[in-house]
């Protein structure tokens, strides 16, 4: 399961290796994870992040538990529940652990079945993101035709590229496909405070792919939309309810409001594993992660000599509140780009296409 665009892989000893996303774009560090507890920690401390990839690491973490605890299914389950609760909002995490436990429950050969299932979960994401790319790129072409554009400007928020779901991402998959089809595309990249996943990770991915983009401060999108400088917005998702409400990185809702006010199409790209069919009203039912206020106060980067380090930007003693995600109501979403096609963000349409 190796490939250029995979931030996680198994080494020859069967250990999990991951690209430590906390240090990108200035440093490339690889971490080796050998136990379920290490997988839990890597998810909660953001060594790995992005809905798809935390699902992948969760699945691999359950395989590592099978390596630690052999045929002791009860112990594996107890420990797997810790992985399952390592972050609360992205549902791919729970989906992957539940799928692994289901296989282990029925298995007579726990270790090899767990390993095969974890690899399958990762490999399936490759196909899912490729299809999402094609479905999304057809929409890009349609918008270009309708508006008679030679170049399209797409706004995205956070990082929903191959660092977040192998190996083309969700929101970035249509943009990578556009590049393959020779479409002239420019991306407005929201910096995505406080952790700066846009400025650090999305920009790093797009630079590597040779895709024209500009990083903007988070509050810029509305202004650009008012001046006809954004043709469409595409974001990823961490959880989508059966009624089409979308939980994604904090700030997504404000972009959707601005898009709606300016008639800019606002799409959300996701694999079907990001649907949470148990919930309908996202504002009431989705658990929004509260992260450490240190992420508000402290930024990471390099100094003028290129030396990496951290910098406090707020006054000592100031309070911070760090809401990780927000919910965009279905009514603000133009469509959901999935591997099953384009779906209206609406309970009936979601049910018809998926069930």
Report the distance separating Cα 175 and Cα 265, nearest Å.
15
Query: Least CB distance from residue 325 to ligand MRU, whole Å?
Result: 7
Residue 164 or 243 with smaller CB distance to ligand MRU: 164
Please say whether the beta carbons of 250 and 323 come within 8 A: yes
Give the residue ranges of DSSP H helices in 148-193.
Answer: 173-180
Report the distance separating Cα 46 and Cα 7, nearest Å.
13
**Which residue's entry shows tokens 């079907």?**
272
Residue 192 or 279 with smaller CB distance to ligand MRU: 192
Q: Which residue is nearest to ligand MRU (CB)?
A: 236
Residue 238 or 245 with smaller CB distance to ligand MRU: 238
Burial label, 56 (beta-carbon count in 10 A; 0-12, 13-18, 19+): buried
Burial label, 147 (beta-carbon count in 10 A; 0-12, 13-18, 19+): exposed
Burial label, 244 (beta-carbon count in 10 A; 0-12, 13-18, 19+): buried
Please say whether the beta carbons of 48 and 15 come within 8 A: no
> What is the crossing angle of helices 51-69 and 110-147, to 10°?
170
Q: Which residues touch 113 (CB under 8 Å, ≥6 apart)?
A: 103, 104, 107
Report the distance separating Cα 175 and Cα 193, nearest Å.
22
Tell me which of 125, 167, 231, 238 is the catalytic residue: 238
Q: Is 238 a catalytic residue?
A: yes
Report the distance separating Cα 166 and Cα 173, nearest Å.
10
Structure token digits, residue 326: 């927000």
Query: Least CB distance from residue 198 to ligand MRU, whole Å?
Result: 9
Residue 103 or 166 with smaller CB distance to ligand MRU: 166
Task: Return the ∠ at Cα 198 (arms to 193 and 200), rounded to 5°.
Answer: 95
Please say whether the beta carbons of 185 and 176 come within 8 A: no
Q: Which residues touch 130 (CB under 8 Å, ≥6 apart)?
A: 168, 173
Query: Least CB distance from residue 289 to ligand MRU, whole Å?
Result: 7
> DSSP character for 288?
P
Q: In the complex, which residues of this chain contact ligand MRU (CB under 6 A)?
A: 49-52, 90, 158, 160, 164-165, 170, 197, 236-238, 248-249, 324
Query: Least CB distance from residue 106 to ligand MRU, whole Å?
Result: 29
Residue 43 or 258 with smaller CB distance to ligand MRU: 43
Query: Least CB distance from residue 71 to ligand MRU, whole Å?
Result: 33
Q: Which residues touch 65 (CB under 8 Å, ≥6 apart)?
A: 35, 36, 75, 76, 79, 80, 83, 114
Report the distance separating Cα 69 and Cα 96, nearest Å.
19
Give the total residue count for the chain.
Answer: 355
Query: Least CB distance from residue 231 to ligand MRU, whole Å?
Result: 20
Query: Least CB distance from residue 114 to ligand MRU, whole Å?
Result: 24
Residue numbers annotated as active site: 238
């Amino acid at each position: 399961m190796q490939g250029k665009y995979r931030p996680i892989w198994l080494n020859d000893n069967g250990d999990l290796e991951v690209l430590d996303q906390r240090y990108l774009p200035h440093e490339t560090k690889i971490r080796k994870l050998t136990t379920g507890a290490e997988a839990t920690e890597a998810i909660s401390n953001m060594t790995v992040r992005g809905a798809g990839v935390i699902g992948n690491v969760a699945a691999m973490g359950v395989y590592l538990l099978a390596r630690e605890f052999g045929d002791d299914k009860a112990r594996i389950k107890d420990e797997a529940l810790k992985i399952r609760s390592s972050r609360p909002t992205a549902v791919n995490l729970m989906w992957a652990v539940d799928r692994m436990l289901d296989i282990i429950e029925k298995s007579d050969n726990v270790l090899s079945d767990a390993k095969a299932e974890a690899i399958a979960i990762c490999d399936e994401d490759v196909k899912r993101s490729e299809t999402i790319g094609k479905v999304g790129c057809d929409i890009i072409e349609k918008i270009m035709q309708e508006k008679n554009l030679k170049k399209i400007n797409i706004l995205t928020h956070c990082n929903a590229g191959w660092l977040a779901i192998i190996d083309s991402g969700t929101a970035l998959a249509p943009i990578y496909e556009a590049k393959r089809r020779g479409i002239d595309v420019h991306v407005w990249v929201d910096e995505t405070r406080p952790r700066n996943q846009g400025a650090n990770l999305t920009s790093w991915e797009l630079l590597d792919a040779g895709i024209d983009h500009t990083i903007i401060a988070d509050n810029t999108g509305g202004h650009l939309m008012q001046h006809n400088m954004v043709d469409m917005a595409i974001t990823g998702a961490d959880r989508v309810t059966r009624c089409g409400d979308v939980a994604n990185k904090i700030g997504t809702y404000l972009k959707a409001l601005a898009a709606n006010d300016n008639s800019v199409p606002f799409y959300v790209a996701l694999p079907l594993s990001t649907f949470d069919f148990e919930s309908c009203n996202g504002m009431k039912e989705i658990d929004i992660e509260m992260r450490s206020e240190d992420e508000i106060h402290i930024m990471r980067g390099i100094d003028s000599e290129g030396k990496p380090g951290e910098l406090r930007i707020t006054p000592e003693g100031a309070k911070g509140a760090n809401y990780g995600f927000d919910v965009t109501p279905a009514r603000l979403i133009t469509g959901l780009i999935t591997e099953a096609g384009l779906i209206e963000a609406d309970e009936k349409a979601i049910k018809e296409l998926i069930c």
